[in-house]
Structure 1
Amino acid sequence: MTELSRWHTWREIHAQPDIWRGFAGALADRAREISAWISRRGVDEVWLCGAGTSAFIGQILAAETTDGPRLVAVATTDYVAAPTTIRPTGQRLLVVQFGRSGDSSETVGMLDLMDQLLPEADRLHITCNAGSALATRAAPGPGEQRVLVLPEATHDRAFAMTSSFSTMLLSAAAILGHGSVPQRLDDLATALEGVLTRAAALNQPRPERAIFLGSGALTGTARECALKVLELTAGQTMTQWDSTLGFRHGPKAAITPGSDIYVLLHPDHHTARYDADIAAEIRRQFPDNRVLTIGPAGDISIAGTGVAAVDAVLYVGVAQVLATRWSDSLGLNVDNPFAGGALSRVVSGVKLYALAR
């Protein structure tokens, strides 16, 4: 592949297409089974929960309406901190929790609070770790629970979430009705292979600052892109993310000399016009800055399913490649940029406080 293949991170990024192909049949069966269970339970509101990258999965999926229940992104970090301020509005709630490790402090805190405050809610746990709390902890009822454990290969060994992010997102999309995901996994795998090749060929030098912009489901996608770069460069490349139209309302002040701007072009033609406009505007106003568009007919072309929440995995693939290359160029341990530092692969040791009732 390249000299970067010595890193688990690089290999895990490039393993995604084969993981999806190998998981397609099993996902089709499980998605059909879990979707039918959700329908039988009469679920009318779904909370999509996680921390960090796992929370961004919820933000991405909740940005697109489906024919099923109302989707709401609820980060476990928000709910654990302020559980009495976030309440369901539907009659029958399903709480979906995403977790690579399935054992982070907020994951466990969310389970504890649900036992106390929402025992009647149904639960769906999607995790990469078969031995985790998400995979093994039973619900007290009366709400029912289902668990989807992803292939072991998605339980990334490296610090950054790569195949875990993409496969959890695609699994939830398949269950919740964001396009015909199981039938399109081979197409998505082939598309990602092309995206990774094109991103690697860029050989884009590391910027001092990287800004990612997107609309709709691609706003949350931009957030995940920004986090990948921030994490893997250990903060030496500062990042920002925003919505395409929101960026003009103050956050555009973040553009400084040495900033790269990446605009994620939405697959919907109407939305993409706004994305193209901001890219052209930034190029005109900041001629010395690099501006790259990613998406249909972009500088880095992407031909996905046309469903932005699903195609998010392709856009993020670009950031995964760039972040890995930039991390390596800094001489960092790409698989653990914070070795001996303040960040760890699994967040643990957060002090959880009992909720007085």
Structure 2
Amino acid sequence: MTSTLTLPETATWSEILSQPDIWEGWAETLADQSAEIRGWIARRGIDTVWLTGAGTSAFIGGVVGAGASKLRLEDRASTDIVSCPQDVLTAGGRILCVQFGRSGDSSESVGVMDLLDRHRPDIDRLHITCNPDGALATRPAPGPGETRVMLLPEATHDRGFAMTSSFTTMLLSALACLGDFDAARLPALAAEARTLVAQLADSPCPRPDRAVFLGSGALKSLARENALKVLELTAGRTGTQWDSPLGYRHGPKAAVADDTQVFVSLHPDPHTARYDRDVADEIRRQFPDITVQTVGPGGDIAFDGTGDARADAVLHVLVGQIRAAQWSAALGLPVDDPFQGRNLSRVVSGVQLYPWQR
């Protein structure tokens, strides 16, 4: 099928296509706000950063936390903090809790704020969110820890079920605040994304029974996000896996069957990319009748990228987003609400939050 001809007009498809323009338009504001936040972090004497979110928002932490930093970056899903606060809230040091949230109203976002308010009000907070009316944007903290809010452009508050522009823009914003990513690079990144979107949107890609996404380092969490996008938008009718390329060889590869597509993200570091390519070649040899595609510099789905795997993740994720939307439409599902109000909802709510007795 040719996606641009067969995909109906949906919020999800529009939001996928809008990402390059959003990043480019956000560049100047992000440069100013991230500089202020970096200065604030330095003044507060922060040494440890918790990267916190649920689901797709949690995978931002996995990508950002995989890179080298002067700060100690810890990937801590809000789902884990809420369920196992004893593993986290007893930590010492000068801590910044960064929460990511499209709506800012998920049960776990609220749960983390409740726990910090009661047990660790000394911890500083940075909320990166897309909803000006959500709890992350509006709820005050008791102190003495300080709070900063980075509110993303309105267009990132995705209306579709799946997080797309919200994920990529929160990720890039976090890199600008916590790493050495220069927001001035966003226009060039956006230009590459436009080319890649056009390539993917116009390429036929029949839906498989199973889709596998592999990536090394920061791209491992990105592979997880791609797998989730396909699982969500096809309402679970396409089985998915994610792993690192080397990790996949140690058992999980047993899931490969006749109708499987494998996507291997190529890390921008040449040393790491050798392993990525070796595993892709191995799977091709062992399963000659399935489709295996490499993604990234010199890959089957090619782009140059920035050389930083964490920033390049926003290019790699376009593969999962677009294929997921194409395959959802091919199944005849409503792409903006593939579960049609059953089982899963756009904002996770209704989780029973239990008070923690420290």
Q: TM-score range by the shorter chain?
A: over 0.9
**What is aligned with 2:52?**
49
1:38 and 2:41 equivalent? yes
CA deviation vs aligned residue, 1:172-224 (integer Å, no higher than 9, x gap): 000112422x1100011001111111112321100000000000000001000
Matches within 5 A, 1:131-280: 131-180=133-182, 182-280=183-281
**Secondary structure of 2:340's match?**
coil
CA distance in 2, matches of 1:55, 1:344: 17
**Residue type matched to 1:134 in 2?**
L
CA distance in 1, matches of 2:334, 2:170: 26
Choose the corresponding residue for 2:16, options 2, 13, 17: 13
Q: CA deviation at 1:91?
A: 1.5
**Residue type matched to 1:244 in 2?**
P
**Secondary structure of 1:202's match?**
coil
Structure 2, unaligned runs of 5 or more: none
RMSD of Structure 2 on Structure 1 (CA): 1.1
**Secondary structure of 1:245's match?**
helix
Contact 1:178–1:309 (8 Å) recurs in 2: no
**What is aligned with 1:115?**
117
CA distance in 1, matches of 2:267, 2:233: 26
**Residue type matched to 1:109 in 2?**
G
CA deviation vs aligned residue, 1:39-81 (integer Å, no higher than 9, x gap): 1101000000000000000001101112x31100000001100
**Larger deviation, residues 128-137 vs 78-87:** 78-87
- Normalising by structure 2, we get a TM-score of 0.97
CA distance in 2, matches of 1:231, 1:312: 19
1:356 and 2:347 equivalent? no
1:105 and 2:107 equivalent? yes
Distance 1:88 1:163, change over 3 A: farther
1:95 and 2:62 equivalent? no
Contact 1:178–1:307 (8 Å) recurs in 2: no
- Aligned residues, how many? 355
**Residue type matched to 2:311 in 1?**
V
CA distance in 1, matches of 2:282, 2:90: 41
CA distance in 1, matches of 2:113, 2:263: 37
- Normalising by structure 1, we get a TM-score of 0.98
CA deviation vs aligned residue, 1:24-49 (integer Å, no higher than 9, x gap): 11100000000100011010000000
CA distance in 1, matches of 2:123, 2:151: 20
**Secondary structure of 2:202's match?**
helix
Deviating 4+ runs (over 2 angstroms): 1-5, 86-90
Structure 1, unaligned runs of 5 or more: none
Contact 2:8–2:329 (8 Å) recurs in 1: no
